[in-house]
Amino acid sequence: MTGFGAADGPVGGSRVSVELRSVNHRFFNPSLKLPSSLSQWEGEVREALRLKIARGHVTAFARVERNEELGAVVDEERFRRYAESLRRLQQEHGLGGEIDVATVLRMPDVVRLGRDDDSLSEGTVAELLAVVNAAALALQVMREAEGARLAAFIGERLSLIEAAVGRLAARAPERMEAQRTRLRENVERLAGGVAVDPQRLAQEIAILADKLDVGEELDRFASHIAAFRETLRAQDAEPVGKRLGFLLQELLREANTTGSKANDAPMLQDVVAIKEELERIREQVENLE
């Protein structure tokens, strides 16, 4: 499920801001982008997100808000090493020119802003996780709003499936009687006026009726749809995506079985319509947590 959440708070002597973005994914798939000063707590942040989010590709950004009052600081030890290395290279290779202060200051990590890393060293993982959890809560609020919209969409699709199942239930007895009549007519035509054993004909009709009966499938359809709706309406905090995925598989199985037994154009049309709606539901259920 898609969503965005952000929060900031103190970590040691600095302030850290965290942004969370999630997109649809069948499983929990985190991607953490933490500054080096916070990377030591990457495992704890990952676990905190896992406890809050069951599904989705979640990208976590964290940054340390710089304190401009601290100004620029020169790492004198790094400056000295660079200067010595440059002079040695100049002598070894017979290079001319001056090695001035500006040249050395442009070397990597000689100049940095303030002492933010030092202030973060005083922070704790609990402080960072408090900010992460606040961002996760904001993300969850947005995801719940999207979940409500998806649940409404799925409910509409279920209503269409229920209507199709109702048409199947109404058509099934008519289809069965038509099949009996057709079987009798075919047998009489093939017999060519020869008397047919009524008991044997009745037995064949009973076998045909058993093969074509979809009553059990329609009953299970109704049961699975009711369970689907009940799961969508659940008010607890437990994830429902996997249960809905299982129920969806059961509904598709009943649709396939009904289609194989239908042997009737109007019923097959409704079976195809049911499968189309189930596919639309499947696309959304993969996004639900």
> Would residue 180 count as lying in a domain?
yes
b/e map 105-133, b = 16+ CB within 10 Å: eebeebeeebebeebbeebebebbbbbbb
CB count within 10 Å of CB 139 equals 27
CB count within 10 Å of CB 100 equals 9
> Would residue 160 count as lying in a domain?
yes
Kindly state whether residues 133 and 162 are assigned to the same domain. no
> Would residue 243 count as lying in a domain?
yes
Decide: 9 and 130 in contact? Cβ < 8 Å. yes
How far does CA 52 lie from the centroid of its chain? Answer: 14
Of the pLDDT bands very low, low, confident and very high (cuts 50, 70, 90), residue 20 is very high
Decide: 237 and 289 in contact? Cβ < 8 Å. no
Residue 23 sits in which domain range? 3-67+127-141
Kindly state whether residues 81 and 31 are assigned to the same domain. no
Kindly state whether residues 147 and 280 are assigned to the same domain. yes
Average pLDDT over residues 125-130: 92
CA dist 123 and 46 (Å) reads 18
Structure tokens at 23: 């997109």
Kindly state whether residues 148 and 132 are assigned to the same domain. no
> Would residue 86 count as lying in a domain?
yes
Kindly state whether residues 16 and 88 are assigned to the same domain. no
Kindly state whether residues 135 and 194 are assigned to the same domain. no
Kindly state whether residues 19 and 133 are assigned to the same domain. yes
- In total, how many domains does the chain have? 3
Residue 207 has pLDDT above 70, yes or no: no
> Would residue 200 count as lying in a domain?
yes
Kindly state whether residues 198 and 271 are assigned to the same domain. yes
Decide: 127 and 183 in contact? Cβ < 8 Å. no
3-state secondary structure 58-100: EEEEEEEECCHHHCEEECHHHHHHHHHHHHHHHHHCCCCCCCC
Kindly state whether residues 158 and 175 are assigned to the same domain. yes
> Would residue 120 count as lying in a domain?
no
> Would residue 121 count as lying in a domain?
no
Cα three-residue angle 167-169-170, rounded to 5 degrees: 65
pLDDT in tens, 209-253: 667 778 888 899 999 999 999 888 876 656 777 888 889 999 999
Of the pLDDT bands very low, low, confident and very high (cuts 50, 70, 90), residue 191 is low
CA dist 43 and 243 (Å) reads 29
Kindly state whether residues 154 and 277 are assigned to the same domain. yes
Kindly state whether residues 36 and 77 are assigned to the same domain. no
Q: What does pLDDT average to over the chain? A: 82
CA dist 128 and 130 (Å) reads 5
pLDDT in tens, 75-118: 888 888 988 888 888 888 888 878 888 888 888 888 776 554 55
> Would residue 122 count as lying in a domain?
no
Kindly state whether residues 57 and 89 are assigned to the same domain. no
Global pTM exceeds 0.75:
no
